[in-house]
Structure 1
Amino acid sequence: MLIHYLPKLLADRGSSIDGFECSGLVAGAVFVDVPSRKMPPKDLSFSVYADVDLEGSEDFVERRHCDFETALEYSKVGKFQWLLLTISGVVYATCAISSTALSFVLPSAGCDFALTSADKGKLTAISLVGMLLGCGVWGSIADSQGRKVAVMLSLLMDFFAAALSSAAQNFDVFLVCRFFNGFGIIGATSIVFPYLGEFLSNGDRDRYLGRLEVFWNFGIIILPGVAWCLLSKNMVDLYAPSVTLSPWRIFVLVCSLPSLISYVLIYYLPETPKYLMDHGKYEKAKMVFQKMYAFNTGRPMETYPVRRLEGEAIHQTTCKMRKKPAGYSLWRSVGNVAERVRALASQQYLKYLAITCFADFGLMASYYTLVLWFPEIFERFNLYETRHPDKTAGICAVSQIRPTRPSRPGQCNFTIGNTVFLETLVIALSCLPTSASLSCFMHKFGKKFVLVFGLILSGLSALALDLVQNSTQTLLVSSVFESLTSVLEAVLLCVVVDLFPTNLRALALSLTVTCGRLGAIFGNVTFGLLLDLNCVVPIYLFGIFLIGSGVLCLAIPRSDGYAPM
């Protein structure tokens, strides 16, 4: 899915990634053709002076003031960036697997825990609550301890939480584990983009970050295959006599392993030079540049043209001159946030903020709910068509079909039909064309047109779910729905970047995406409560949300250059 990439958006418009205000965010890629522009350094702490050794170097460079972009230019672009993209892609695919693994757990674990549809709604919502609370924490860790440290710790937490949840013996313990699973994985999801982006120049950043989004789709495609291998009836019958664990527990345990693998892979990568420079660690930053240069060119590290980073002494002197009493920075930060809140509440911006917040609330309420419930819905279709092979029925009719619960504990041997895995895989594959062509469509038709058209069309497809009469029709409508909604938040965040000036952009993005996470929680709880009672209500609610959001977005100005720079 193209979800939310705040730091990239800020960087593309000249805003500092070091400001990484990610409270309540879930990050994802935004691939948009934004003109690259090099901003002059605002203070000495963001500058770097370099002595350039001309002797033995093929690059003729005069001794001059050199910013991050120029220092990065001398390290070249090549094999290192491709290695970094591959490992970052593995991390992002891991995030996709971890974020959506519950979709296959719902129909399987329901037997062991005797879950109602309302309980399943709580289960899907609890991970989103963890994501909502965790992003601000991981953003702070990324700013204070480093991007690499934050990604590694979040992957480690996700691994342990998922592994422990596979052994949970009651529903309450399982809920707690899945909360920390969401709390952990959101760190890697949100920080892997700035981590990769801070190794890239402005000219290369869009291209590489756009490619990174493809790995999310790989994760979504891989997950049904893993579930098919572990949860299908044939496989369960094969290893059931020799394995005492429930199949879904093995599935959850296997889905935790990519987090551990990603942790090991990223351990061998360096911290970003941008972070190191911004925090006065110039010697370490120079070492990273030298390694990048050697890896890309095959030359010795000593031949890297930039010999000395002289900004460290100036940075230390500046820090001493700016030393303030304890608590000064905290109060200053609080004051800055209050000032930005007042600015957003002004008549000039409040209307647009309300529109984007409402749009993301409705978009995520529908997307995150249905994408996590599709396997459950298709499994109920499978049960209905098995019991009534000559009849047709819609979603609300088949939602009344539930697996038979065992009369005594320990008798669960629930399996998912093979068609469910195939149908889920088709839905995942349907996202590839839209994610691959998103940048082209935004460039040709404009962000506003893509956003409005996509919201209205996805709303109509949500309403069409009430009209389908068999699993094939449901699959077709669901594929259209997910292919659109999976990219629309990316477009919405691009619009937010255009609407708000640099000093208000981070807060506007944070509030918008926080409303989206609240919508996802609302959607999952509501759908779980009403699926067995009156499933027409959430379906029409999602459709009205999406169409209403599209109509409201007509009030957004079309010009991409709306925000003052």
Structure 2
Amino acid sequence: MSRHVHTGESEARAPLLTGDYLQTHEADSEEGEVIFERSNSLSRSVDRRLTYEEAVEETGFGLFHWLLLVACGWANASDAVEILCVSFLLPTARCDLLLSSSDMGLLTASIFLGMMVGGYLWGYLADQRGRRRVLVVSLAVNGLFGGLASAAPWFWLFLLLRFISGIGVGGSIPVIFSYFSEFMPRLRRGAMISALATFWMAGNILAAGLAWLVIPRTWARLSLGSVQFQSWRLFVILCSVPSLSSALVFRLLMPESPKFLMEAGREKEALHVFRKMFELNTRGRGKHFPEFGLCTGPRQREEQQETRSRGTRSHRLYGVLKKASVPIRLMFNGSLRSRSFVLLVVFYCISFGYYGLWMWFPELFERIEDGGSPCANVSLPSPRLNQSCYPVKTAVYMEGFIIAASNLPGNIFTILMMDRTGGKTLLSCSLLVSSLSVFLIYVVQTKAQSLVLSCIFSGVSVIAWNALDVVGTELYPTQLRSSALGFFTGVGRVAAITGNMTFGKLVDSNCAVPVLLVSALLLSGGLVSLLLPQTKQTELT
């Protein structure tokens, strides 16, 4: 996370993917912002001043962008691991923690509740204070508290730690896509954001593979005081490693978004980032960085300083909260109003459908291990009879791995077609096909048919998510982008909580209701998304 200089002494900042020596200077004693400046590039007058899109084009496309894809992709994968790991531990953890179906619904909903709390908060901070530092903190919170949950001896403590972990996840998911998109040239943005979204599949496969390899193993079980350390607890620890490692990568290696720096009026820092992008993209070609200035936005310092210095603590808190609500008001006013209402509906429908069904796949497949459809066998052994969970049925995790791997065709299709058809078309069509596949999951009568249709749902629904990631970043200007994505992902978390609680309450008594509700909501989302504007290869504002 970036440091602020609060004294007259210089302070070094994290390197930008290379180890070049950087001089830092205090630019403003009030804000303490650090300005990067190369030791051999003193201030000079330049006649040419470029916009953000023009500056990105000047830096070219190459090694920097592929390294950025790996770093942001690993962060995206780590979020997927942390969210989806709960679904894989349900079949065994329900015995050790003595969980009913309602408790399992509450457990799967806990991380989404945390994401709802953290989504808008982190998004707002990213728009105000910078993308990179928010990513570092949110990823660290995610990994730390996710790992601590493995040692929780009681259900309520496990639930609390998963909730706090969710607060971290809520910040990293929307900010990653804002951050990544702000380095991309316009003509490659759609395909590259789609490529970034494919790392969700990688995290899904990683979580399923770890569950398959770890949870059925008996050697991972031991007693630690009052805690019976079963194999699923080791699985929880391993699932926290990606987030912690990703936080370290962003802290040590990654730069701040040049688009954010330009909007904040920090021209020298933005130029330094563009220089490093150019040097990595043209490495070995002997090219020299072209000299140019940037069309930057004005610094917004007076209002920040006024908020800090005036009034009592309660007045300052009121001022901060009032300021934090401004992006929401802007999103639902003027030309942005209609698209914001459409996205609100789409995020709710897809999140209820996807997370409501996906988080329960392992549990549903355990119930149909002897054949039939997911809703044919609703009887479940009492969670107090621990022997019902052991030995672990390995086939359940193998099937989860197959469903996770079925994301691959959808991701490849998205990368190839995003810049040709645009996100709006892919979003609508994939939601409609997802709705049909869920309806057929309810209709079929054999386990093999359920598995095939679940794979189709997985492969098609991921297209909708990838398209939504692209559309969401292109519909809002820089000063609202992270706040908007944070707000809508928060709406999605409300839907995910509702979906998981609905499954938890009804999966034993009336399984058909949540399954058919998922199908209906996906259908509604697909139709409503047709009202969105087309954003194919649009310029970021």
Asked if Structure 1 and Structure 2 have the same fold, meaning a TM-score greater than 0.5 normalized by the shorter chain, the answer is yes
State the 1:94 CA deviation: 1.0
1:292 partner SS? helix
**1:291 is the counterpart of 2:261:** no
Distance of aligned partners of 1:165 and 1:355 in 2 relative to their CA distance in 1, 3 Å threshold? same
Question: Partner amino acid for 1:341?
Answer: F
**RMSD between superposed Cα atoms in Å:** 4.2
* 2:372–2:445 contact (8 Å) kept in structure 1: yes
Distance of aligned partners of 1:156 and 1:62 in 2 relative to their CA distance in 1, 3 Å threshold? closer
State the 1:534 CA deviation: 1.3
**1:214 is the counterpart of 2:198:** yes
Structure 2 match to 1:398: 377
Distance of aligned partners of 1:146 and 1:231 in 2 relative to their CA distance in 1, 3 Å threshold? same
State the 1:120 CA deviation: 0.4
1:366 alignment partner, one of 348, 353, 357? 353
Per-residue deviation, residues 244-286 of structure 1 (Å, max 9, x unmatched): 6211111001111111211222222243233333334344334
Per-residue deviation, residues 96-124 of structure 1 (Å, max 9, x unmatched): 11111111111121011110010000011
1:398 partner SS? coil
1:74-93 equivalence runs, <5 A:
74-93=58-77
* 1:108–1:415 contact (8 Å) kept in structure 2: no
Per-residue deviation, residues 378-401 of structure 1 (Å, max 9, x unmatched): 12222xx2xxxxxx4322232313
* 2:114–2:163 contact (8 Å) kept in structure 1: yes
**1:524 is the counterpart of 2:500:** yes
State the 1:287 CA deviation: 3.5
2:408 partner SS? helix
Q: TM-score normalised to the size of structure 1?
A: 0.74
Structure 2 match to 1:433: 409
1: CA distance, partners of 2:128 / 2:533: 38
2: CA distance, partners of 1:216 / 1:422: 19
2:359 partner SS? helix
Distance of aligned partners of 1:294 and 1:489 in 2 relative to their CA distance in 1, 3 Å threshold? closer
1:111-150 equivalence runs, <5 A:
111-150=95-134
2: CA distance, partners of 1:242 / 1:123: 24
Deviates more, 1:143-152 or 1:128-137: 143-152
- Count of matched residue positions in the alignment of Structure 1 and Structure 2: 487
Distance of aligned partners of 1:477 and 1:311 in 2 relative to their CA distance in 1, 3 Å threshold? closer
2:47 partner SS? coil
* 1:147–1:271 contact (8 Å) kept in structure 2: no
Structure 1 match to 2:396: 420
Distance of aligned partners of 1:163 and 1:484 in 2 relative to their CA distance in 1, 3 Å threshold? same
Per-residue deviation, residues 271-320 of structure 1 (Å, max 9, x unmatched): 3233333334344334333433443444799964438x6889x957x967
1:47-66 equivalence runs, <5 A:
63-66=47-50
State the 1:128 CA deviation: 0.6
Which blocks of at least 5 consecutive residues in structure 2 are unaligned? 1-36, 311-315
Deviates more, 1:122-131 or 1:494-503: 494-503
State the 1:493 CA deviation: 6.7
1:382-397 equivalence runs, <5 A:
382=369, 385=370, 392-397=371-376
2: CA distance, partners of 1:286 / 1:442: 30
Q: TM-score normalised to the size of structure 2?
A: 0.77
* 2:195–2:415 contact (8 Å) kept in structure 1: no
Question: Partner amino acid for 1:395?
Answer: P
2:91 alignment partner, one of 104, 107, 128? 107
Distance of aligned partners of 1:240 and 1:321 in 2 relative to their CA distance in 1, 3 Å threshold? closer
State the 1:544 CA deviation: 2.4
* 1:231–1:416 contact (8 Å) kept in structure 2: yes
* 2:262–2:294 contact (8 Å) kept in structure 1: no
State the 1:533 CA deviation: 1.3
2: CA distance, partners of 1:509 / 1:321: 24
Question: Partner amino acid for 1:163?
Answer: G
* 1:111–1:414 contact (8 Å) kept in structure 2: no
1:534 partner SS? coil
2:362 alignment partner, one of 375, 379, 385? 375
1:459-498 equivalence runs, <5 A:
459-491=435-467
State the 1:549 CA deviation: 3.9
Question: Partner amino acid for 1:66?
Answer: L
2:180 partner SS? helix
Distance of aligned partners of 1:151 and 1:514 in 2 relative to their CA distance in 1, 3 Å threshold? closer
**1:538 is the counterpart of 2:514:** yes
2: CA distance, partners of 1:462 / 1:112: 31
Deviates more, 1:214-223 or 1:539-548: 539-548
State the 1:473 CA deviation: 1.5
1: CA distance, partners of 2:98 / 2:415: 45
Distance of aligned partners of 1:103 and 1:196 in 2 relative to their CA distance in 1, 3 Å threshold? same
**1:197 is the counterpart of 2:181:** yes
Question: Partner amino acid for 2:276?
Answer: K
Structure 2 match to 1:281: 266
State the 1:242 CA deviation: 9.0
* 2:381–2:388 contact (8 Å) kept in structure 1: no
Aligned identity (percent) is 31
2: CA distance, partners of 1:70 / 1:167: 51
1: CA distance, partners of 2:452 / 2:152: 36
State the 1:491 CA deviation: 3.8
1:442-457 equivalence runs, <5 A:
450-457=426-433
